[in-house]
Structure 1
């Protein structure tokens, strides 16, 4: 995950959220979970910065969207303990970043008015920057 790619993803995410009249925080992590890029829109609560980072880490680590993971923790008794792992945030808005079938990082969005908006902004940015097939849940 280059800095240039991470910044393109962050820029596209902020623009996607603004297109629906929302501000947000976006975090992009590399395949090792290290933060590469972080952008925060105007007037977004400070707790959303950490939430975006944790969503990005969770999506990378589990190779799953955080909304799917959140639902799995409710529906599958064997997954319920995931909520006890402090590094994971089971709240929609995190997506793994996939190129040619390989997970190269994760993106997390927070503060745009709910998990559905957060995921929408992330998904649109991924499609714009990485192309079709990269924004799988």
Structure 2
């Protein structure tokens, strides 16, 4: 063992000397898990998300606006994106960020913007990564539970908001 150990130590390699007695190893301890509970969540279906996005774009197109609509789930994960054929490239990011802001803050982007305007301590909300505090992001609720959000970008805040609100109402019947 000395012949092997010395060259290994000279190379700077760590060497562990194991004891051969079984008593040297501590007995494994049982792991105690905290009590768990299950949570039931309502989710927005992919088909409903696609219909909301497409309808929001159609609603705005009727007014002559080329927009993009994005629908996200309650965690801000994109479910559907629908751009109008002539929508500007900025509308993709704007629609996503409006939807993400809405899903994160659980409030309309118009209400968040008003809160920031009237409450200076809320101004830092606008600095959160991916937040866009402009009107046009709306909640998607099922039985008063937020299951996602939709955002439209490309017209103006109030027009974006109307297009998406009408789409949500049409698809979900609320």
For the criterion TM > 0.5, the same-fold answer is yes
Q: Which has the higher contact order (CA 8 A, sep 6+)?
A: 1
Does residue 80 of structure 1 match 2:123?
yes
Tell which structure's C-alpha radius of gyration is larger.
2
Does residue 69 of structure 1 match 2:126?
no
Aligned-pair Cα RMSD in Å: 1.0
How far, CA to CA, are the matches of 1:21 and 1:54 in structure 2?
23
Deviation at 1:131, TM superposition (A): 2.1
**TM-score with structure 2 length normalisation?**
0.72
Tell me the equivalent position of 1:125: 167
Tell me the equivalent position of 1:50: 93
**TM-score with structure 1 length normalisation?**
0.91
Give 1:28's match in structure 2, choosing from 59, 71, 93.
Answer: 71
Give 1:15's match in structure 2, choosing from 58, 81, 91.
Answer: 58
Does residue 100 of structure 1 match 2:135?
no
Gaps of 5+ in 1: 133-137
- How many residue pairs were aligned? 131
Gaps of 5+ in 2: 1-43
Deviation at 1:5, TM superposition (A): 0.8
Residues 70-129 of structure 1, C-alpha deviation per residue, up to 9 Å, x if partnerless?
A: 1111111221111111221101100011010110001000012x1111001011111111
